[in-house]
Amino acid sequence: MPTYTALTTLPGRDGAEALGEALERLDPAPTGVGVFEIEDGSGLWEVGAYFTEPPDEAALALLAAAFAANPFAVSEVPETDWVAKVQRELQPVEAGRFFVYGAHDAGRVPQSATPLLIEASMAFGTGHHGTTLGCLGALDRLITAGLRPERVADIGCGTAVLAMAAAQVWPAEVIASDIDPVAVEVALANTRANGLGDRVAVVEAAGFEHPDLAARAPYDLIFANILKGPLIALAPGISAHLAAGGTAILSGILADQAQDVLETYAAHGFNPIEQDRIVDWVTLVLRKNTPAL
């Protein structure tokens, strides 16, 4: 199946993030949208979208004009067996007690590690990105500190690596959700491959908009490894669905965005417990306040 890319640049993070959100509403809809700062001191941000059918170039031109961006460069990407390519190039990842690997590296799993089998796929979350690595590291430290949640939710789960990590170490009730149906399929496949098909429920939902998510609340631990904009939008929902004294692990946050996220969650009753930075990405561990007696 051919893949098409549409790329543009514009100055400023806010405009770039807004353009990224607008791209998600196109018809045909992109299969993914990325927003990244160009690290050359120019102040420009790159916004890209990926499509499985030719995008509407007239609509792209209107969006570029509306957000004062450069015209989109649209191109067709040659067909590549990306799964095979990623399997060849990605090495296993160790994050504390967790060992994230593909089936081709099954023989390399340390005997003492908690294994997480993740096959290369279209869904985000192989463990190599600083955000996923940061979440796994934060989870490892919380386990060492004695955290023992009974109910766990992984919102925007991608491959479900975080949900599976929780299910591997605790006899907790775990549910994972993603807005992307492809990610849901991948998450289901991964839970089965790890022998966790009956331990981790997987649903397609935007935020907490699914009856299964509401029925299992309140949660003791919530993961949300997405992006700054959705994290801020989810703050009321995470607060409403997390038990008092519960823990939230948040990532997908660029270093210069962390303060905005912290301030938003402070306004919804959270205190920061830990902040970890891996290259340009920050992972936050927050605790929901316990009401005063």
Among 107, 210, 114, 229, residue whose Cα is nearest residue 162: 114
- pTM, two decimals, is 0.70
Among the listed residues 28, 73, 23, 76, the one whose alpha carbon sits nearest the alpha carbon of residue 55: 28
Give the domain ranges of the chain.
3-77, 125-288
Cβ proximity of 49 and 11 under 8 Å: no
Residue type present at position 287: R
**What pLDDT does residue 70 have?**
95
pLDDT tens digits, 42-55: 889 999 998 988 99
**Could you tell me which residues come within 8 angstroms of residue 21 by beta carbon, excluding any fewer than 6 positions away?**
229
Q: Which helix (H) or strand (E) holds 177?
A: strand 173-178
pLDDT tens across 156-176, in order?
A: 998 899 999 999 999 999 999
pLDDT(126) > 70: no
Per-residue pLDDT at 90: 54
pLDDT over 70 (residue 38): yes
Residue 152, token pair as written in the block: 């766990």
Taken in order 232, 258, 169, 243, the sign of the CA dihedral is negative
Contact of 255 with 280, CB cutoff 8 Å? yes
Question: How is residue 252 written in tokens?
Answer: 């997908």
Q: Predicted confidence band at 205 (pLDDT cuts at 50, 70, 90)?
A: very high
**Can you give the pLDDT at residue 275?**
95
pLDDT at 82: 46
Contact predicate 45/35, CB 8 Å: yes
Rg, C-alpha atoms of the chain? 19
pLDDT at 121: 53
The yes/no answer on whether domain 125-288 falls in CATH 3.30.360.10 is: no
- Homologous superfamily, domain 3-77: ACT domain (3.30.70.260)
Report CA torsion sign: 163, 154, 125, 271: negative
For residue 109, is pLDDT > 90?
no
pLDDT of residue 39: 66
Three-class secondary structure of residue 45 per DSSP? strand
Q: Which pLDDT score, from 0 to 100, does residue 89 have? A: 47
Averaged pLDDT for residues 194-198: 95
pLDDT reading at 291 higher than 90: no
